[in-house]
Structure 1
C-alpha cells in the first residue's frame, strides 16, 4: 500500500464501523501480521513516526495546523522490513482529546481498539512523563470496563490482560530535560519506570480521589503491559517552517540527534514487535485481523464489552469451517488429478488415497484452531470417509462394468455353443473345459481390468458350473467312473473357487483396515504434535506472565506497598495453578478420548475392532 486507507471510521450517529475497502485489503493477506498502533493526544507527531516505520516520507497525513487531521483509525500494510514472509500493519489513530469532538467516549473506543488490535502499542506524548501526562492516559485505567478476557463473569479478568495485550512503548517527544534521578544519570526505561511508581498523598494522609485515580492508571499500565519501553526524542528542529512541513523536508534538515533517536525507535519496533496472536497460541493473518477489527468495533461501539474469548471463538468457527472445506477439497482435487479409474489394484488406490488424505490432514491441522471438542476434525474425517468410499465404489463399479463387458465379449463363442447345444456330444466336456481355459487365459492377459477383475472371473466360472456338470453327465465318451472323477474335480474346483472368493474378500478388508489404521494413526500423530506445540507456547506465555508478576510484586514490596504486593502474590498463585493444569500428556489423553469416540462413530462396525485408538496414540506419544 503506497497510501493509507481508513480502517475504522466514525459514523454520523456517533458510533464506529469498519471500512469495507480496508477489510477487503486485509482479507487478501495470508501472511502472519505484525500490528503496530500509535495513540496519543492530537498534534503530537504520531503520523510522522508511522511514516518512518513505513520507510517513507509521506503516507499518513501529518498536517501543519492546530486542527487534527486523522479521524478514526487509518491503516497501511507493507512487507515487514526484517521479517520475511510477514506483513507489517501500521495503525495511525485519531488524536485523543480533540476539542472539536467533545466526545470522550470516542477517545476511549479508539484507545481500546488500538490495544486490542495491535502487537505493539505506541503511546505518544510531549515533553515529560509527569502527573499531567499520567492524567492524560487515564484511558488505561478505564479499559476494564470495555474489555473482557472470558465470557463468564471473572473478577480476575484484568490479571490476565498481560497475556493478551501488546508491548507498550511510550514515545516522549520534544524533550528538553536531562535524564537524571536523585542527581544520577538514568536510562529512558528507568525514567518511565520511576514515573510509574505509586504517588503518595501529601502530609501522609490517605490519597485523594485525584491521587487514587492517577495511581490506578499507573497500576493498570504496570499490570496490563508486561513489556514496557520508553523512547525520548529531541525537538526535530528549531526552525518553525521545517516543523510545519515535516513530510516535505529531507532528513538532513532535521537534528542529527533526533534522526538517530528515530532510527533506534524503528529498529526496536522491527525487532521486538512480534506477530499478533489471537489468543495464547494462534497467529493472526490479514484475514483474521479483519475479523478481529470487525467484531471488536461492533462490540465496543455498541456499548458492550469486547470479550476476547467470544470473538476468538466466533473466528475459530469460521476458520475451522474453512479449514474443513479447503482440506476436503484438496483431497478431492488431488485424487482426481492422480487417480485414473479403474486402478489396476486396490493397493494403488489405497496408497494414493493415503497420500492425499495426509496432505489434506496437514492443511486442516495448520488452519484449524480451538477445536477443543474435535467437532471440526470429526467433520473433516466424516467428509473424507464419504468422499473416499464414493471414490472406491466408483473405482469398483467401473472395474466391474469393464470386466463384465470384457468377459462377455471373450466368452461370446462359448455362449453361442451352449445355446446351440454344441457341447452335448461325445467328447464335448473336454472341448468345454478347453474353451473355459482359453477364455480365462485371454481374460487374464487383458490389461487395466481393475480391482474387480478376479471377482468377475470367479463369478463367471461359477455361473458356468451347472453347464459344465450337464455337459459332463451327457458326454458318452466318459465312463461312469470318469464321470465320478470329473464330478469330484468340479466340486473341488467349486470349493476352491468359494475359498478363493472369501480369501480375496478378507484380503481386501484387511488392506482397507490397515489403510484406516495408518490414517488414524497419522491423525493422532498430527494432533499430538499440534497439542504439544500449543502447550509449549501457552507454557511460555504463562512463564512470561509469572516473571512479570513476580517482578511487580517484588517492586511493590520494596516500596512498602503491601496491598499491591499481596494482590500480585494471589495472581502468581493463580498462574502457577494454570501451569500445573497445562500438562501435555493429560491434554493429549483428553483429545485421544474425544477422537477415539469420533473415529469409532465414523467407521463401520466391522472396522472398529481393528483399532485400539488410545494405545495407538500413547505409542505415538512415547515415540
Structure 2
C-alpha cells in the first residue's frame, strides 16, 4: 500500500502542556493521523540537546531543505514537546525518514528536570538513531547534561516483574547514539597525536581508574551507563558555519556557497552516515515499525510515562501486537473477500474455483503475516484461517448456486416444447417412446452446446433426466408399437439408467469433495511454509542483533579488563554469558514447538512437514 507522505512542514507529535501547574505530555491526533497513512517501515532520527545549540538546523539538513524546522522552534517558551517531519528516505525508496526535533533541554525558563527526562526517554524509545547535540567541546558539563541516561532505568523497563539485570537488556532495544559537537575550535589531539572524532568521544567516555572517591565514582557512573546502553556510538564535530554573527542569525536563508566549506563537508558526512547506518526502527528486535505502528507506540509510551512514569517495553509490544493482529486478520480477510468478488461466477469447474481461491488466499496470508507481530501461538493466524475458510465456503456455495440457476434456466429454455408435449400426452401414442427418447436426446445436445454453465452442468442435466423417469415408464406402457417383452426390457433399461445416473452424481460429488480436501491440505502446506519463512527471517534478525550486541559487550569487557576495572568487566562477562545461553536455547528449540498450528489443526497433518523441517534443523 502506498504511503501518503504530504508534509510541507513539521508538526507537533507530542505536546508538552501545563495543566494545573504540572506538565503533561499529550499526543497530537493530527500527527497520529499522518503516521497512520504511512505503511512503509520508518527510520526514526531524534535529536536532543540543550536549547540554542542548532539542533533544528541539523534536522533540516537531514530533510534536505533550507527551511523546515524553525531554528527557533525549540527555544521559544511557547513551543514545547517533540516535533515531527516525515519525508521520503533519500536512499531507500521503500522507507520513510521520520525526523523528531525535541524541545531544548535545560531551559532555565522552564526549569522542569522531570519534564526533560521524559522528553529524553521518549526520544530514546521512538528512535532508531539518537543524536545528542552539544556546543564547543565534550566537557564534563556537556556530559552532565546527559544525566538522563543515568536515570533511564527508572523510566524504562524491558520486562515486567523483578527481572534482574534489566539494564543489560536495554542496549539491544536502544538506538545508535551519535554525538554532534558544534562550533568546535580545538584541534582533535591527544598527547600531540591527531585523533578521529570517534576517538575523541571514546576518550571523553573513558572512566577514571581506580575510583578513589565518591566524586570519581559518580564521574564514572554516567560514562559506564552510556557505554552500557549505547554500544553503537559515533561522533561528528562541526566548525562554526560562518564567522559572521549576522549570518548566523540568518542561517536558514544562507545557501551552502556562503557557509564555511568545512562545515558543509562535515554536514554532508553527518547526513550520509545517518542515511546509510540508521536502520528501520524495530521493537522486540524483529518487528519492523511502520508509520502507523510508530503512531501507536507514541501513544502507548506517552500514556505509560504520564500514568506510571515507567514505560515497559514488553507490555507495550504485547499491547501493540494485540491491536495489530486483530487488524491483520480483518485486512487480510477483507482482501480475500474483495478479490473473490471479482471472480465471474459460475466457474466452469471446481478446480478453477479452488485455483483462484488459493491464489487470493495466499496473497491474503502474505498480508496477514506481514502485518501480524508476536503471534506466538498462532492464535490470530488460526483466526485468519478460519475466517477465510468460512468465506471460501460461502463463495463456493454461491458459485454452485449460480451454476444451478444458470443450468436450470437453460434446461427450461430448451425443454419448453418438450414439456408442453408431455403435458398434452403427445408421446402417449404408438411409437411415442422412440420420439420421447430422441427429443430428450436433442434437448441434452442443445444444452451441452451452451457455454458458462458452471460446475453444476452435468448434475443439473442428470437431475432433469431423472425427473422424467416416471413419465417415461407411462409412455412405454402406452406405446403399442412395443411388445410386452420389449416394454419390460425398456422399463428395466430405464431403471438401470436411473441407477447409473445416481451413481454418476455421487461420483461427481465425491470428486468435488476430494478436490476440496486436496486443496485444503495444499493450503495447509503453503501456510506452514510461509509461516516457517517468517519464523526463520525473524530468527535470523534476532541472531544478527544478538551477535552485534555480543560483539559490543566483548569490546567493552576487554576495555574494562585492560584498565583493571574488574567490577565493570564482570557485568559484561555475565551479560555475554546470558547472550550465549539465550542463543543456545533458541538454537535447540525444535521446529514444531514454534507452531501453535499443531494444537489447532492436529499433529497428524503436520507430520510430513515436521519431518521435512526437522531434518533441516538437525543438519544445522
How many Å apart are 1:584 and its aligned residue? 8.7
CA shift in 2, pair 1:244/1:403, >3 Å? closer
Which among 240, 245, 248 is matched to residue 250 of structure 2? 245
How many Å apart are 1:599 and its aligned residue? 4.1
Q: Deviations over 1:365-405 (max 9, x none)?
A: 22222111212212221221121111111111122223223
How many Å apart are 1:64 and its aligned residue? 11
Q: Deviations over 1:343-382 (max 9, x none)?
A: 2222222222122112222222222221112122122212
Checking the alignment, whether the CA contact within 8 Å between 1:138 and 1:214 is kept in structure 2 is: no
How many Å apart are 1:97 and its aligned residue? 1.0
Output aligned runs, 1:377-456, within 5 Å: 377-456=381-460
Residue of structure 2 in register with 1:22 after alignment: 31
Residue of structure 1 in register with 2:168 after alignment: 159
How many Å apart are 1:522 and its aligned residue? 1.4
Residue of structure 2 in register with 1:497 after alignment: 501
Q: Structure 2: how far apart are the matches of 1:64 and 1:383?
A: 50
Q: Deviations over 1:312-340 (max 9, x none)?
A: 22222222222222222222222222x22
1:615 aligns with 2:602: no
Residue of structure 1 in register with 2:326 after alignment: 321
Q: Deviations over 1:53-82 (max 9, x none)?
A: 222332222249986685211122212222
Output aligned runs, 1:261-340, within 5 Å: 261-337=266-342, 339-340=343-344
| Further displaced range: 18-27 or 138-147 | 18-27
Checking the alignment, whether the CA contact within 8 Å between 1:427 and 1:476 is kept in structure 2 is: yes
Output aligned runs, 1:4-403, within 5 Å: 4-13=10-19, 14-63=23-72, 71-200=80-209, 205=212, 207-208=213-214, 210-337=215-342, 339-403=343-407
CA shift in 2, pair 1:466/1:249, >3 Å? closer
How many Å apart are 1:240 and its aligned residue? 2.8
How many Å apart are 1:622 and its aligned residue? 6.8
Q: Please give the secondary structure, in 2, of the residue aligned with 1:268.
A: helix
Which among 566, 572, 597 is matched to residue 595 of structure 1? 597
Aligned length: 607
| Further displaced range: 14-23 or 115-124 | 14-23
Checking the alignment, whether the CA contact within 8 Å between 2:159 and 2:312 is kept in structure 1 is: yes
Q: Please give the secondary structure, in 1, of the residue aligned with 2:134.
A: strand
How many Å apart are 1:259 and its aligned residue? 2.6
Checking the alignment, whether the CA contact within 8 Å between 1:189 and 1:230 is kept in structure 2 is: yes
Which among 540, 545, 548 is matched to residue 544 of structure 1? 548
Q: Please give the secondary structure, in 2, of the residue aligned with 1:392.
A: helix
Q: Structure 2: how far apart are the matches of 1:68 and 1:40?
A: 16
CA shift in 2, pair 1:293/1:64, >3 Å? closer
Gaps of 5+ in 2: 1-6
| Further displaced range: 408-417 or 538-547 | 408-417
Checking the alignment, whether the CA contact within 8 Å between 1:440 and 1:457 is kept in structure 2 is: yes
CA shift in 2, pair 1:482/1:545, >3 Å? same
Residue of structure 2 in register with 1:532 after alignment: 536
How many Å apart are 1:476 and its aligned residue? 3.5
Q: Deviations over 1:3-24 (max 9, x none)?
A: 2221111112211111222222
The alignment's TM-score, normalised by the length of structure 1, stands at 0.91
CA shift in 2, pair 1:344/1:253, >3 Å? closer
Q: Structure 1: how far apart are the matches of 2:589 and 2:352?
A: 37
CA shift in 2, pair 1:68/1:168, >3 Å? farther
Q: Structure 2: how far apart are the matches of 1:344 and 1:251?
A: 68
CA RMSD of aligned residues (A): 2.5
Gaps of 5+ in 1: 601-607
Q: Structure 1: how far apart are the matches of 2:64 and 2:450?
A: 69
How many Å apart are 1:621 and its aligned residue? 7.9
How many Å apart are 1:288 and its aligned residue? 1.2
Q: Structure 2: how far apart are the matches of 1:418 and 1:373?
A: 64
CA shift in 2, pair 1:408/1:21, >3 Å? closer
The alignment's TM-score, normalised by the length of structure 2, stands at 0.92
Q: Structure 1: how far apart are the matches of 2:329 and 2:348?
A: 31
Checking the alignment, whether the CA contact within 8 Å between 1:528 and 1:621 is kept in structure 2 is: no
How many Å apart are 1:119 and its aligned residue? 0.9
How many Å apart are 1:100 and its aligned residue? 0.7
| Further displaced range: 353-362 or 438-447 | 438-447
| Further displaced range: 100-109 or 237-246 | 237-246
Q: Deviations over 1:79-114 (max 9, x none)?
A: 222222322211111111111112100000111011
Checking the alignment, whether the CA contact within 8 Å between 2:74 and 2:102 is kept in structure 1 is: no
How many Å apart are 1:250 and its aligned residue? 3.9
Checking the alignment, whether the CA contact within 8 Å between 2:130 and 2:178 is kept in structure 1 is: yes
Checking the alignment, whether the CA contact within 8 Å between 1:535 and 1:584 is kept in structure 2 is: no
Checking the alignment, whether the CA contact within 8 Å between 2:51 and 2:74 is kept in structure 1 is: no
Residue of structure 2 in register with 1:480 after alignment: 484
How many Å apart are 1:135 and its aligned residue? 1.9
Q: Structure 2: how far apart are the matches of 1:75 and 1:136?
A: 23
CA shift in 2, pair 1:102/1:335, >3 Å? same
How many Å apart are 1:177 and its aligned residue? 2.8
Residue of structure 2 in register with 1:605 after alignment: none
Checking the alignment, whether the CA contact within 8 Å between 1:68 and 1:95 is kept in structure 2 is: no
How many Å apart are 1:249 and its aligned residue? 3.5
How many Å apart are 1:306 and its aligned residue? 0.8
